[in-house]
Amino acid sequence: MAYSNHVISNSDVAFGTSGARGLVVDFTPDVCAAFTHAFLAVAQESFEFKKIAIAIDNRPSSYKMAQACAAAALNAGIQPVFYGVVPTPALAHQSMSLGIPAIMVTGSHIPFDRNGLKFYRPDGEITKADEQAILSSDIAFEALSTLPELTISNDAKLAYIERNKVFANANLKGKRIGIYEHSSAGRDIYRELFTDLGAEVITLGRSEQFVPIDTEAVSDEDKARAREWVNRYKLDILFSTDGDGDRPLLAGEDGEWLRGDVLGILCAKALGIQALSVPVSCNSAIEQCGYFDEVERTRIGSPYVIDAFAELKSRFNRVAGFEANGGFLLGSDIEFQGKMVKALPTRDALLPVLAVLNVASKGIVPLLQQLPNRFTASDRIKDFATERSKAILSQAVLAPDEFMSKLGFTSVIIESVNTVDGFRITLENGDIVHLRPSGNAPELRCYAESDSVQSAQTLVADTLTKLQNLT
């Protein structure tokens, strides 16, 4: 007999900003079972259900992890329903529609030697309080001896496609849309949906090897690839996502990938959103554009964005949120062009792209030209121990002037320091530098904002170079 809290605490698997994450070798069948038993026990305190929805991304380790989760559910008297490889928002949509919990096996954008579990209650993503309850649950369970073969249901895929057909619009008819498929969990769904909506679809870059696309730190190779594809195929847009399809990448007619928070602004405006909840790392153009009645800034991570929805919904009818990575969270039911769009308070890659295409009759670039000239950039140092990141940032908080001097900012005036999530400093000239440890991997992330793309990129590059030499 094993106990969930003991197995989890000895596993080196921990909750990050988006679910439990760790090395694949640490996600043994019993670790997956421990998380499943603990999650089900926590969910059963507030909900009644007899089934659980399970889906996976295209990582080589994901199917076996799903088998372990399904086996544990069966042992707990809960029937697993396996939806195969689908985007995380498709699973969340199905789960909430049926009123049952869900587990998505995905590591999102992190390297393929890592993976994760993302949990949904029947009413949406688990909260940070739920995470702590899962970790502290003391559930006894039998170690797994066999893993069941899983039969795929296509219901989640079909329901997700149907949900997004509400965005059918004449602007999509005849458009040349490129889909950078790589190993995205939604690659087959996207091709089918855009074709159904009347676009001419060109699929590109499909890979049978897992590709860890990070929408906040797009590689130079993928930037060059986007420009080349848009030019070669005369594309109106190029669309892609991260590994589990909850964070979008969109390039317009110029072949340049949009920053995720810029796409979020355009989407929220297209949907007529009144109030927004966004992480502190997002572009300040959100406030400066004047499109929204209220903007609430939170810690980084979808649970924090979602937590702010309840208060905003008490005062506004049309509430949403998005993150710097582009994932858009619809916090309230809204009417869009005479059709009802149900709330889906989890990151979604399709919604922002389809909403923006509805108002982009003259292309994406003209929409961007209407926004304030505030530009962001981000990157990270890989294989940078979280303990080292925290030690560096502790020094920064205690002595910000001295810390900035070490980074080469010797003749600047600090206007403000924000420690809501990491160390975010605003300089008198309007430049912003924001440092924080990744919640999903041993990485130190740097975000910067300035009045030009080049200046923002230089801030990130120079800062990370100096950080690597700090002890």
Per-residue pLDDT averaged across 331-336, rounded? 95
pLDDT for res 174? 84
Examine the pLDDT at 470 and tell me if it is beyond 80.
Answer: no
pLDDT for res 161? 96
pLDDT-derived band at 219 (thresholds 50, 70, 90) equals confident
Per-residue pLDDT averaged across 339-345, rounded? 95
Q: How far apart are CA 307 and CA 298, in angstroms?
A: 9
pLDDT-derived band at 337 (thresholds 50, 70, 90) equals confident
Examine the pLDDT at 319 and tell me if it is beyond 70.
Answer: yes
By CB atoms closer than 10 A (0-12, 13-18, 19+), residue 23 is middle
pLDDT for res 471? 59
Per-residue pLDDT averaged across 218-236, rounded? 95
Per-residue pLDDT averaged across 343-363, rounded? 94
pLDDT digits (tens, 9 = 90+) for 82-105: 999 999 999 999 999 999 999 999
Q: How far apart are CA 65 and CA 380, in angstroms?
A: 28
pLDDT for res 96? 97
CB 74 within 8 A of CB 146: no
pLDDT for res 438? 82
Average pLDDT of every residue of the chain: 94
Domain 2-153 matches domain 158-368 at the CATH topology level: yes
pLDDT for res 290? 96
Fold annotation for 2-153: Alpha-D-Glucose-1,6-Bisphosphate; Chain A, domain 3 (3.40.120)
Residues taking part in catalysis: 108
pTM greater than the 0.85 cutoff: yes
Q: How far apart are CA 77 and CA 297, in angstroms?
A: 41
Domain layout of the chain by residue ranges: 2-153, 158-368, 375-467
Which CATH class for the 158-368 domain?
alpha beta
pLDDT-derived band at 217 (thresholds 50, 70, 90) equals confident
Residues with Cβ < 8 Å from 140, sequence gap 6 or more?
A: 1, 2, 3, 4
pLDDT for res 296? 97
pLDDT digits (tens, 9 = 90+) for 382-429: 888 889 999 999 999 999 999 999 888 887 899 999 999 999 999 999
Q: How far apart are CA 34 and CA 30, in angstroms?
A: 6
Fold annotation for 375-467: TATA-Binding Protein (3.30.310)
